[in-house]
Structure 1
Amino acid sequence: MNPLISAAPVIAAGLAVGLASIGPGVGQGTAAGQAVEGIARQPEAEGKIRGTSLLSSAFMEALTIHGPVVAPAPSFANPSVQPVFIRNKK
């Protein structure tokens, strides 16, 4: 079997985990910076700003966790690769 066919799902899973972590990481940094800036401009609205930023951080964190959980799926669902327990059976 072509080694590229065997390696493609693993490479895809690695790229998916990396890309799924980069986006929310940048978003969380931007959101935190904007929240601090908003509190500095309007200290009386600190409670509303903090609540909204915590909620949005929770959603971004859920996206960050979702990526590594779903990304390995192509490694196990590749129809071109025969499972090890069938391949070693004689």
Structure 2
Amino acid sequence: MVFSRVLLAILLGLLVLNLIEPSHESFEDQEASQGAVGKSLLATIDCGVACSGRCRLASRQNLCMRACGTCCARCNCVPPGTSGNTDQCPCYANMTTHGGRKKCP
């Protein structure tokens, strides 16, 4: 009786794995085909390093890092230096809050 339950559990486990595996492979194939094109066109930057350089002189570093991280993730760009230089990253410079203020430090 115990042997039959173990055998049944193993068979059900294999069935579930068999159902999950094909969809997982197709997702990987799809991701690989899209990722190869996207990654070759856009090189992602390390937002943590870029924003820590941008916010190193800010009086409210946690706020600056949070805002800069959001802007960096959306634009994949952070202007060099601690302020200004926004002409090198227009997406970063043009992002605003709901109140109309500049979002990115």
Interval containing the TM-score (normalised by the shorter chain): 0.3 to 0.5
- Give the TM-score of the pair, scaled to structure 1: 0.35
Which structure ranks higher in relative contact order (CA pairs < 8 Å, sequence separation ≥ 6)? 1
Bigger radius of gyration among the two: 2
Structure with the larger helix share: 1
